[in-house]
């Protein structure tokens, strides 16, 4: 059987002029029923590449699981709101 999964993948490339450098945090958050969100950041030459992925399998969330789902959603918001720091 095949299970449908909803998700999004974003790739951002920030190219900088020397001697500027950029830094972003990486992290992973897991939620109920296999939901997860990740952010990875890495340097590629004169650029910073940030990739974000959110995976949300179809799920039936019971009232008892609402707090877990809410924590996951707020964690995703915090992960995506992190600053990309640019300096020299």
Backbone Cα Rg of the chain: 16
Tell me the pLDDT tens digit for each residue of 16-61.
888 888 888 899 999 999 999 999 999 888 899 999 999 999 989 9
Q: What are phi and psi of 68, to 5 degrees?
A: -65, -40
pLDDT-based confidence at residue 6 (cuts at 50, 70, 90): confident
- Model pTM score: 0.80
């Amino acid at each position: 059987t095949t299970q449908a999964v909803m998700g999004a993948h974003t790739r951002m490339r920030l190219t900088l002029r020397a001697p500027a450098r950029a830094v972003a945090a990486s992290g992973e958050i897991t939620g109920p029923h296999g939901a997860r969100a990740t952010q990875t950041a890495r340097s590629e030459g004169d650029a910073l590449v940030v990739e974000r992925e959110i995976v949300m399998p179809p799920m039936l969330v019971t009232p008892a699981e609402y707090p877990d789902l809410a924590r996951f959603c707020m964690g995703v918001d915090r992960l995506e709101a992190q600053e990309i720091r640019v300096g020299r």
